Amino acid sequence: METNWSNAHFDTMLIHAGQAPDPVSGALTTPIYQTSTFCFDSVQDGSDKFCAAKPGYVYTRAGNPTTRALETKLAAIEGGEDCVVTSSGIGAIGAILVAFLKTGDHIVCDDTLYGGTSFVMHTNLSQLGIEVTFVDACDLSALEAAITPKTKLIYMETPTNPTMKIIDLEAVAAIGKKHSIRTVVDNTFAPPPIQFPLSHGIDLVVHSVTKYLNGHGDVIGGAIIGKAADISLISSSAVQKLCGCTPSPFNSYLVLRGMKTLSLRLKKHCENAMEIARYLEANPAVETVYYPGLESHPGHELAKKQMNGVFTGIMAFELKDNINGRSAYEAGQELVNNLKLILIAVSLGDPDTIIQHPASMTHSCVPKEEREALGITDGLIRLSVGIENAADLIADFEQSFARL
């Protein structure tokens, strides 16, 4: 694959990496190779391609030209040697775990993870006899102390959901290297050009492509980027075999299309989010705003260094208790229900601004004490800021706050 993008600027890579004109038709846009299988010239040709003695495609679960174009682009923008794309973000995470862990192994995870990942770590891994230790990875001594001779992976997200905790990627990578343990970072919340975990020494980056990378809210997808040998192992043993979580060529095409505007979109997401975070911070009904772009956020200085001076489009905020006699829980529900432009939905990174009240939606089945231990308090609201005009979004908040 073409990896020599070191002299190109980021925005140029976004457009051109992985996308040469189609050799058959000259089509500028990568065609959708919507086929499950590929024909061979002869039995010998088939044999050569199956044994990788000759390049070529054999079956879409094992590789497809549209998907390969996307993998090339993703590897280039993250600065990795190679990439494998999957049918979902959770499929990518599962593939990493299946590729590198076996019964009796141990993994250290940050204690704040996306809910689906948390379920995998808490439930699926223990079913397989793999031990997990959860630590606050901001506490580097606690992280290092959790390592045992059986530890095979260190896994985390930064920023984390919902309090936007910032973890020091360079320090975590150094601990991993010192103990010869692979480090894995879910970079969904802050994709390039915001954050480049591999450049800090992290071994593997995983994405829910569903979010900013596709950026249009119409695809579920995932990706893993890292060293060629690691990606080859994950791809051949986990993605193509046990998990079988290969994407459809059509979805790969949509993500290729979406990624061309990644820089432009993220710039607007981040600008809007900064404006809204400042508006919310000054709002008397708001107790706390969790956004690393604010000087009041405990991770602000590290985020400035690690996130390229911008702070993503996601934030959470906490409402005060007893707003005109309402509990924080009631106020959270009302504030969200009374918004007109901003839509109630989960997910993030869409062009549309979306909001949710975790205590009564995503975490409604989790006992109160348990969810509060995760930082999901009654008045917490999660917001993914879109690329609309910020003044219209603030006006929508204004009319909804006025009704409390």
Q: Which stretch binds ligand PLP (CB under 6 A): 112-120, 140-148, 297-305, 367-375?
A: 112-120
Based on CB atoms, which residue is closest to ligand PLP, 138 or 390?
138
Q: Which of 105, 92, 128 is nearest to 235 (CA)?
A: 92
CB 262 to ligand PLP: min, Å: 16
Distance CA 276, CA 18 (A): 36
70, 18 contact by CB (below 8 A): yes
Q: Which stretch binds ligand PLP (CB under 6 A): 114-122, 162-170, 324-332, 388-396?
A: 114-122
Question: Applying CB under 6 A, which of residues 5, 33, 100, 114 lies at the interface with ligand PLP?
Answer: 114
In contact, 165 and 303? CB cutoff 8 Å: no
Q: Which of 68, 73, 82, 114 is catalytic?
A: 114
Tell me, yes or no, if 329 is annotated catalytic.
no
- Is the backbone peptide bond immediately before 358 cis, with ω within 30 degrees of 0? no
Residue span binding ligand PLP (CB under 6 A) among the ranges 47-55, 110-118, 235-243, 367-375: 110-118
Catalytic hit among 61, 227, 241, 320: 61
Report the residue from 66, 67, 210, 240 that binds ligand PLP according to the rule CB under 6 A.
210
Q: Is 61 a catalytic residue?
A: yes
Question: Considering 68, 73, 165, 211, which one is annotated as catalytic?
Answer: 211
Q: Is 90 in the site for ligand PLP (CB under 6 A)?
A: yes
Residues in the chain: 404
Nearer to ligand PLP, 12 or 119 (CB): 119
User: By CB under 6 A, how many residues form the interface with ligand PLP?
Assistant: 14
Give, in degrees to the nearest 5, the angle at Cα 264 between 258 and 266.
85
At how many degrees (to 10) do helices 65-78 and 249-259 cross? 40
Strands (E), 297-389: 314-319, 343-344, 354-356, 380-384
- Respond yes or no: is residue 260 known to be catalytic: no
Matching residue, tokens 């979805």: 251
Q: What are phi and psi of 317, to 5 degrees?
A: -145, 155
Whole-angstrom Cα distance, residue 355 to residue 336? 7
211 catalytic per annotation: yes
Given 105, 110, 186, 378, the catalytic residue: 186
Catalytic residues: 61, 114, 186, 211
Contacting residues toward ligand PLP, per CB under 6 A:
88-90, 114, 116-117, 157, 186, 188-189, 208, 210, 220, 222
